[in-house]
Structure 1
Amino acid sequence: MNNIISNENLSVEIHSKGAELIQIKQNKNNYIWDVDTKFWNKTSPILFPIVGRLKKDTFSINNASYTLGRHGFARDYEFKIIDQKESTIEFLLTENSITLQAYPFQFDLKLKYSLEKNSLSLQYTVINNSDTIMPFSIGAHPAFAIDFSKNDYQILFDSDAELVTHALENEQFSGETTKIPLDNQILPLSYSLFEKDALVFKNISSRSLTIFENGNPYLKIHLGNFPHLGIWTKAEAPFLCIEPWFGYADSLKSDGNILNKEAIQTLAPNDKFECSFRIEIL
């Protein structure tokens, strides 16, 4: 089911499946890409309880092994609306008999969308309802309507003079890194940047990214308290994903124990975790 929130500047559409952001409209301009399945069938999936791919798609904990696909399962389930007003909406997902087979924890996963002026804020809350420590990662994956083949796009990083991206091999980190120089903190965008998969920046310094279209400010992503960032597209696809993350994929050297996973988050029983970021239309 599609749900709409709005204010005097923006109209936002979110689907209850995956609590997935479908549109951000200002007048008739949609800043989220319109799905074309020859490239991709998503617009903004939530990544939970992992981000990226596990080695052999498995993890172990408490002497048991579990199978969990890339980016987890939250994007595949219907969320329940627990609060809705004109300019805000909040969704909830909890465990079920199927998720427990892949991820043996009881949880509340909440995603709240809030509009203020020209901005959409996305707030994520994770609560551990289990009686043991719960490991998890969480991330966002919005795809913005950006077509390199038609227009010139650049990203301005607010506090990075140089970027270091971590190479992926079969969707796992190989240990290799590449430095990407910036010109006055600006990265010109081209499909060639993504020939070897996503750009992944661990513990990025910048707290905001501004995208320019033909030299004009287009939109700005405020990363909030998210420490890691992925940027991704496909060849000739008319979108660019800007992905704030808490956590990321396994390395090729992973031992499979999720508690040893690099950048994994953990919650004690009854504890709560919160993170947020903001999309500003310029």
Structure 2
Amino acid sequence: MNKVTKEKHVKAILENSELSVTVDSFGAEMHSILKDGAEYLWQADKKYWGRHAPVLFPIVGKLKNGEYHYNDTTYKMGGHGFARDNEFKLISADNKKLVFELRENEDTLSQYPFHFEFRVIYQLNDNKIKVRYEVKNEDEKFMSFGVGAHPAFNVPIHNGSFEDYKLTISPAEKRTFIPLDPPSGTIKIDKKMDKVVDELPLTRELFDQDALVFTSSKETKVSLTNQLDSHSVSVSWKNMPYFGLWSPYPADAPFVCIEPWCGIADDVNTDGDITTKFGINELAPEGEFSCEYEIEIN
């Protein structure tokens, strides 16, 4: 079923026998994931972080000095882009699927000189939520962009404390760790290193240098589990080349983010040209791009 609030924004709800998922049209952002009465999604307490699961577009992460250059013009844009702060149109809704759409407007064109169609699609199947991003270049020039996810999950989910949980990354293989420069939010490509990463017990100090950023495998899965009960969250994806893991430090924030990305923050040494930005995607006129990830709730 779908419910509409009396506010400006539309709140759409997907429900089945396993899950109830609420998505707000502002930012096309998930606001709730309920299973058996338990809330799995972070509830945006501004004391720690006032968002639930923002959609990242047309950049992922931060730009150096909050700006980029395109065709000799400098544009300002905040971290993770503007999609999370724009109203999407709910263009299709039924019991199993929601389709939200954002097109360029006066606000986006002041930050990003491209005409585009960006869709965020949520599908519910048993205890799994599939989230799909579709980008279409409706301009007459090549379009540079990034897109990604930023869902935050409650820790603890039900029992225990933050330190009773761990993140398991599979497959357990060598991948590239790309450190962040905490003051600027940019990445340090020249400090990247390859290492095998499989289990990360949660501690506050794990995030003392901001988010942990890694390259993905062709198929990647990150699971949030504990030894006290069977409540867990798994996020899996294919062909999204990077991912981030984050919880605010040093705050005792009761959540962790698992973030698959097709894009990444600026390198600290970037020249600011968006067309040659590290990790950027390029679409030809009328070109289309898509990627997706899945959340499994247990």
- Name the TM tier (shorter chain): over 0.9
Aligned partner of 2:45 in structure 1 is 36
Tell me how far apart the structure 2 counterparts of residues 254 and 157 of structure 1 sit (CA, whole Å).
30
What is the TM-score with the length of structure 1 in the denominator? 0.94
CA contact (8 A) 2:64 2:266 kept: yes
- Structure 2: 5+ residue stretches without partners: 1-9
Tell me how far apart the structure 2 counterparts of residues 203 and 121 of structure 1 sit (CA, whole Å).
18
Tell me how far apart the structure 1 counterparts of residues 175 and 161 of structure 2 sit (CA, whole Å).
24
2:142 paired with 1:133: yes
CA contact (8 A) 1:108 1:128 kept: yes
2:63 paired with 1:63: no
Aligned partner of 1:94 in structure 2 is 103
Specify which of 152, 168, 176 is matched with residue 164 of structure 2: 152
The equivalences for 1:108-257 within 5 A come to: 108-147=117-156, 149-150=161-162, 152-161=164-173, 164-169=176-181, 170-174=184-188, 175-177=190-192, 182=197, 185-204=198-217, 207-214=220-227, 216=230, 218-234=232-248, 235-257=251-273
Q: Provide the aligned C-alpha RMSD in A.
A: 1.7
Aligned partner of 1:49 in structure 2 is 58
Tell me how far apart the structure 1 counterparts of residues 201 and 196 of structure 2 sit (CA, whole Å).
10
CA contact (8 A) 2:172 2:196 kept: no
Tell me how far apart the structure 1 counterparts of residues 177 and 98 of structure 2 sit (CA, whole Å).
35
Tell me how far apart the structure 2 counterparts of residues 53 and 72 of structure 1 sit (CA, whole Å).
8
Shift of 1:149: 3.6
Aligned partner of 1:269 in structure 2 is 285
* Gap change, CA 1:191 and 1:68, over 3 Å in 2: same
Paired residues, number: 280
Shift of 1:87: 1.6
Tell me how far apart the structure 2 counterparts of residues 96 and 73 of structure 1 sit (CA, whole Å).
11
The SS at the match of 1:193 is helix
Of the structure 1 ranges 116-125 and 150-159, higher mean CA displacement relative to structure 2 is found in: 150-159
* Gap change, CA 1:194 and 1:44, over 3 Å in 2: same
Q: Return the letter of the residue paired with 2:243.
A: L
Tell me how far apart the structure 1 counterparts of residues 218 and 121 of structure 2 sit (CA, whole Å).
26
What is the TM-score with the length of structure 2 in the denominator? 0.89
- Structure 1: 5+ residue stretches without partners: none
2:14 paired with 1:14: no
